[in-house]
């Protein structure tokens, strides 16, 4: 065979390989887009970020209510990105989801290229984690929601991959991963935990003499400079070192709820059955990447275990799914590469386990049980329905405000402090204290849903001049509301007397905390039913 024939064969092989890789990527992306469309939603909490961004663009500052400086968000960089979009005339409802879906694609591409460099682009174990992710309800649904979940996941994964590359290349100035970890920390504060794990591994390499102390200090510098600047901004702007959401959401050690959180995750996806594969890969390869990803997952899950998991269905676990499934695939590679006469049997076991992973992920994603709330963990279906209804009510109220039927400065208090305050633009008190330090730092009376364990009392509402308290968690009603006459709503273990005001074809049903004279003055142009 002459050299020309050899070159042609090589070119034909390359074209075939390229076509195969392109076909697989098309399949992965197509399945991802399909499932994103299936699970698409906007969370009510996303509108908290929208409101902060809107107030920033409108010149009120990074605030919830104009004139009140309280940090009621946990995604600083995300709010700034949304504000930049709004300044350009891009509505956050769509922009946030475009960012989330694009970030999810970025996660898939980053993980795929990282694995392909190790195993080759057509190795089946390059594609197993990707197909598992796009079959996952949790990964694809939280690519939407309007929250920073997938952007945070992308920054963490890029930072981890870059950190591993820097260690492999022994870069003289290893700072890029530190910058990416800083961006992750500005997006979600948990980014600091992943940074700390990377710092521990770096310090260990310094101790072993593989890298210098100078390298470690240079690596730390960007993270401390950027995150430190954010802390200084927070203190100078809000007067505190920690966000108000920390006090509202983190209420101490709660292993019982965490057991439910992780138990339900396993019940849906059967992930616990595949964890021995992670241990197998770690023991057999003793690879730096295996140890790094494993310890990052362990410490992050320990943190979630300490705080009781999360309120929304597996949202906080999305960030570790790429590295988790990569580690499982690496464990399967140990089985595929097993030497000796037992190799065929181990290979069969690996193929069966890979197929089972895809099947259990798909079945867990479409499980009917996942449509209901479980142990104070709100399902994606419930989150979707609630947010859609709150947005509908907010838009209805906005119409009445613009028509002059309702005042534009009505002081309200709501439990779902997202879409309804965003669309009405009313000054609003969050019943759970996300935007109020008095409520957030108040006594914890009993454990309940994460981030829903503090609440305002009637005396504080009176002090704040709350005219409308959405005591039913449903403010705008259609049809007959007479069943609420002489009825008290129970919120926060308190009973709230209800009032009703007619708005054309709609009726507001709420509790009020202002004197009767003030109440009738506010609604003097409307029909007060009771």
Same domain? For 160 and 303 the reply is yes
Same domain? For 222 and 298 the reply is yes
CA-closest candidate to residue 244, choices 253, 252, 234: 234
Q: Let me know if residue 464 belongs to a domain.
A: yes
Residue with tokens 């605030």: 63
Same domain? For 314 and 439 the reply is no
Rounded to 5 degrees, what are φ and ψ at 379?
Answer: -70, 160
Q: Let me know if residue 273 belongs to a domain.
A: yes
Burial class of residue 321 (count of CB atoms within 10 Å of its CB; 0-12, 13-18, 19+) = buried
The per-residue pLDDT for 81 is 98
| Contact present, 97 and 47 (Cβ < 8 Å) | no
Same domain? For 318 and 393 the reply is no
Q: Parallel, antiparallel, or unpaired: how do β-strands 527-528 and 488-491 relate?
A: unpaired
DSSP labels, 445-507: -S--STT-S----HHHHHHHT-SEE-TTS--EEES--GGGTT-EEEETTEEEE-EEEEETTEE
The per-residue pLDDT for 6 is 67
Burial track 214-231 (b if 16+ CB lie within 10 A, e otherwise): ebbebbbebbeebbeeee
Per-residue pLDDT reduced to its tens digit, 44-75: 999 999 999 999 999 999 999 999 999 999 99
Q: Which DSSP helix (H) or strand (E) runs through 354?
A: helix 343-365
Q: Let me know if residue 357 belongs to a domain.
A: yes
| Contact present, 471 and 361 (Cβ < 8 Å) | no
Q: Let me know if residue 271 belongs to a domain.
A: yes
Would you call 429 helix, strand, or coil by DSSP?
strand
Residues 6+ apart with CB under 8 A from 24: 122, 127
For residue 510, the cross-strand partners are 499
Same domain? For 492 and 343 the reply is no
Would you call 430 helix, strand, or coil by DSSP?
strand
Domain that holds residue 300: 12-41+91-371
Q: Let me know if residue 150 belongs to a domain.
A: yes
Same domain? For 349 and 406 the reply is no
Q: What total number of domains does the chain contain?
A: 2
Question: Which of 371, 405, 440 lies at the terminal end of a domain, its last residue?
Answer: 371
Per-residue pLDDT of the chain (530 residues; tens, 9 = 90+): 556 666 666 577 667 688 889 999 999 999 999 999 999 999 999 999 999 999 999 999 999 999 999 999 999 999 999 999 999 999 999 999 999 999 999 999 999 999 999 899 999 999 999 999 999 999 999 999 999 999 999 999 999 999 999 988 765 557 899 999 999 999 999 999 999 999 999 999 999 999 999 999 999 999 999 999 999 999 999 999 999 988 888 877 888 999 999 999 999 999 999 999 999 999 988 889 999 999 999 999 999 999 999 999 999 999 999 999 999 999 999 998 888 777 788 888 999 999 999 999 999 999 998 889 998 899 999 999 999 999 999 999 999 999 999 999 999 999 989 999 999 999 999 999 999 999 988 887 777 777 778 899 999 999 999 999 999 999 999 999 999 998 899 888 889 999 999 998 999 999 999 999 999 999 999 999 99
Question: Which of 371, 391, 414 lies at the terminal end of a domain, its last residue?
Answer: 371
What is the Cα 467 distance to its own chain's centre? Answer: 33
Would you call 73 helix, strand, or coil by DSSP?
coil
Q: Let me know if residue 64 belongs to a domain.
A: no
Same domain? For 310 and 409 the reply is no
Residue with tokens 């308190």: 494
Signed CA dihedral, 265, 38, 397, 499: sign only: negative
DSSP labels, 266-283: HHHH-GGGGHHHHHHHHH
The per-residue pLDDT for 264 is 96
Q: Let me know if residue 301 belongs to a domain.
A: yes
Q: Let me know if residue 53 belongs to a domain.
A: no
What tokens were used for 432? 């759970």
| Contact present, 484 and 471 (Cβ < 8 Å) | no
């Amino acid at each position: 065979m002459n050299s020309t024939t050899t070159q042609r064969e090589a070119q034909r092989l390359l074209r075939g390989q390229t076509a195969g890789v392109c076909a697989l990527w098309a399949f992965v992306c197509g399945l991802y887009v399909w499932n994103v469309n299936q699970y698409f939603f906007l969370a009510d909490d996303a509108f908290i970020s929208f409101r902060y961004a809107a107030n920033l663009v409108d010149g009120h500052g990074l605030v919830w209510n104009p004139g009140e400086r309280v940090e009621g968000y946990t995604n600083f960089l995300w709010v700034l990105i949304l504000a930049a979009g709004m300044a350009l005339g891009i509505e956050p409802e769509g922009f946030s989801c475009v960012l989330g879906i694009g970030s999810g694609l970025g996660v898939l591409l980053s993980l795929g290229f990282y694995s392909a460099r190790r195993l080759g682009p057509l190795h089946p174990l390059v594609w197993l984690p990707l197909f598992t992710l796009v079959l996952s309800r949790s990964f694809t649904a939280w690519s939407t929601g309007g929250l920073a979940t997938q952007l945070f996941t992308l920054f963490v994964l890029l930072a981890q991959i870059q950190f591993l590359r820097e260690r492999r290349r022994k870069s003289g100035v290893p700072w890029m991963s530190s910058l990416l970890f800083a961006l992750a920390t500005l997006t979600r504060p948990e980014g600091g935990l992943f940074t700390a794990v990377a710092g521990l591994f770096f310090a260990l390499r310094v101790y072993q003499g593989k890298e210098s102390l100078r390298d470690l200090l240079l690596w730390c510098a960007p993270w401390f400079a950027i995150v430190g600047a954010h802390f200084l901004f927070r203190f100078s702007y809000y007067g505190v070192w920690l966000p108000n959401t920390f006090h509202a959401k983190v209420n101490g050690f709660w292993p019982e709820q965490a057991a439910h959180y992780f138990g339900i995750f396993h019940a849906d996806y059967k992930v616990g059955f595949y964890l021995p594969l992670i241990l197998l890969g770690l023991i057999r390869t003793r690879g730096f990447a295996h140890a790094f990803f494993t310890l990052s997952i362990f410490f992050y899950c320990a943190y979630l275990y300490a705080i009781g998991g999360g309120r929304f269905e597996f949202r906080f676990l999305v960030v570790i799914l790429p590295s988790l499934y990569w580690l499982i695939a690496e464990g399967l590679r140990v089985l595929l590469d097993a030497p000796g006469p037992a190799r065929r049997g181990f290979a069969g076991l690996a193929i069966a386990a890979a197929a089972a992973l895809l099947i259990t992920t798909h079945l867990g994603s479409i499980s009917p049980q996942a449509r209901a709330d479980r142990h104070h963990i709100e399902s994606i279906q419930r989150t979707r329905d609630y947010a859609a209804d709150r947005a509908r009510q907010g838009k209805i109220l906005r119409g009445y405000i613009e028509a002059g039927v309702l005042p534009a400065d009505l002081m309200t208090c709501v439990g779902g402090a997202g879409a309804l305050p965003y669309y009405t633009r009313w000054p609003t008190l969050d019943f759970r204290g996300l935007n109020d330090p008095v409520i957030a730092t108040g006594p914890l009376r009993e454990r309940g849903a994460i981030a829903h364990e503090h609440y305002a009392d009637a005396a504080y509402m009176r002090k704040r001049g709350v005219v409308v308290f959405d005591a039913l968690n449903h403010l705008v009603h259609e049809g007959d509301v007479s069943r609420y006459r002489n009825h008290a709503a129970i919120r926060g273990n308190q009973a709230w007397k209800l009032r009703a005001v007619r708005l054309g074809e709609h009726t507001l049903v709420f509790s009020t905390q202002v004197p009767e004279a003030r109440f009738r003055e506010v609604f003097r142009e409307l029909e007060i039913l009771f």
